[in-house]
């Protein structure tokens, strides 16, 4: 069981808006000792959304989907989720009550006709695939929904992020910090990736469970003097004791190849 995210919206793919969900979800997972395994971006195309969700439902992964759960013509996620599951949409009773409460809040001191066409249309935001549960929305009460290990939240970060945190802390607290994990790296100068590839392969072979990464950069003086030269951010990640042993072998291997090394600054990917 891995963690995945599906980010839905034409506005992301066209560049009209910049996605903020991916880095935030990575941050929320990392704070709980968890990691993201995959991510997908999809436009507002119902057939593509349905196909993507059908595939992800079958994966067994824990998946967060952002966007497309409103009630305007370009919101398709609720309908596509139901189609992918082969179940009907139903008005969730608790969602309906929360939406009505929101309508009353918005009206203030004015009289409210909850049966007006406009307000009845708003209830569409509470129609979810049959069997779904709700995700509380602390911002405006309009809930998201969960079906199994798939969790659907709005595209607005101010709503989505607290809802994702609620899911992680309510449904998956037993997974938090389950596996101790470290990541250590050095900046390597004067060696091409082709020279260090055999070293990387031997470390992954000799230290099961450790993953080696290599991130080359042409240099970026704006990030500081040590980053100005072309370099490779070379490191390992995995269980602390094994990864630390692998890291020492990595450093010795770079020295043997004649490379120059500088410790990478924390939280500063090259």
If phi > 0 it is left, if psi is from -120 to 50 it is alpha, else beta; for residue 74 that is: alpha
| pLDDT, tens digit, 9 for 90 and up, residues 17-29 | 999 999 999 999 9
| pLDDT, tens digit, 9 for 90 and up, residues 126-141 | 999 999 999 999 999 9
How confident is the prediction for the chain on average, in pLDDT? 92
Beta strands in the chain (DSSP E): 3-8, 38-42, 62-66, 89-91, 127-129, 133-135, 144-147, 150-153, 182-189, 211-217, 231-238, 260-263
pLDDT at 270 over 50: no
Mean pLDDT computed over 53-68: 97
Could you give phi then psi for residue 134, rounded to 5 degrees? -95, 155
The hierarchical CATH code for the domain 182-263 is 3.30.70.600
pLDDT of residue 166: 98
Topology adopted by domain 3-175: Molybdenum Cofactor Biosythetic Enzyme; Chain A (3.40.980)
Buried-state track 198-220, b at ≥16 Cβ within 10 A, e below 16:
ebbeebbeebeebebeeeeeeee
Number of CB atoms found within 10 A of residue 88's CB? 10
Nearest residue to 65 via CA among 153, 170, 157: 153
For residue 189, the Cα-to-chain-centroid distance in whole angstroms is: 33
Mean pLDDT computed over 93-117: 92
| pLDDT, tens digit, 9 for 90 and up, residues 158-185 | 999 999 999 999 999 999 988 788 889 9
For helices 193-206 and 240-256, the axis angle rounded to 10 degrees is 140
CA distance 120 to 167: 28
Mean pLDDT computed over 41-49: 97
Confidence of residue 200 (pLDDT cuts 50, 70, 90): very high
CA distance 143 to 165: 14
Say what percent of the chain tops pLDDT 90.
83
Q: What pTM did the predictor assign?
A: 0.80
For residue 39, the Cα-to-chain-centroid distance in whole angstroms is: 6
Strand 38-42 versus strand 3-8 pairing type:
parallel
pLDDT of residue 269: 37
For helices 46-59 and 77-85, the axis angle rounded to 10 degrees is 50
pLDDT of residue 265: 59
Domain boundaries, the chain: 3-175, 182-263
pLDDT at 220 over 90: no
pLDDT of residue 219: 81
Strand 150-153 versus strand 62-66 pairing type:
parallel
């Amino acid at each position: 069981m891995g963690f995945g995210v599906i980010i839905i919206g034409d506005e992301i793919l066209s560049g009209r808006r910049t996605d903020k969900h991916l880095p935030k979800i990575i941050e929320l997972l990392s704070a709980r000792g968890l990691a993201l395994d995959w991510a997908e971006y999809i436009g507002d195309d119902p057939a593509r959304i349905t196909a993507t969700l059908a595939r992800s439902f079958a994966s067994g992964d824990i998946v967060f989907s952002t966007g497309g759960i409103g009630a305007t013509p370009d919101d398709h996620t609720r309908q596509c989720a139901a189609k992918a599951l082969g179940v009907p949409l139903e008005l969730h009773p608790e969602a309906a009550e929360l939406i009505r409460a929101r309508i009353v809040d918005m009206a203030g001191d004015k009289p409210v006709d909850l049966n007006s066409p406009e307000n009845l249309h708003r209830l569409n935001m509470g129609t979810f695939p049959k069997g779904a549960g709700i995700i509380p929305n602390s911002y405006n009460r309009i809930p998201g929904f969960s079906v199994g290990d798939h969790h659907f939240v709005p595209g607005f970060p101010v709503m989505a992020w607290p809802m994702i945190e609620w899911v992680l802390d309510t449904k998956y607290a037993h997974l938090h910090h389950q596996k101790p994990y470290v990541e250590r790296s050095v900046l390597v100068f004067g060696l091409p990736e082709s020279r260090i590839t055999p070293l990387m392969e031997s470390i992954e072979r000799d230290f099961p469970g450790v993953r080696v990464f290599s991130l080359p950069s042409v240099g970026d003086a704006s990030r500081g003097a040590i980053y100005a030269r072309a370099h490779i951010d070379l490191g390992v990640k995995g269980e602390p004791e094994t990864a630390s042993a692998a890291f020492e072998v990595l450093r010795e291997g770079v020295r043997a190849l004649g490379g120059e090394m500088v410790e990478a600054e924390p939280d500063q990917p090259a």
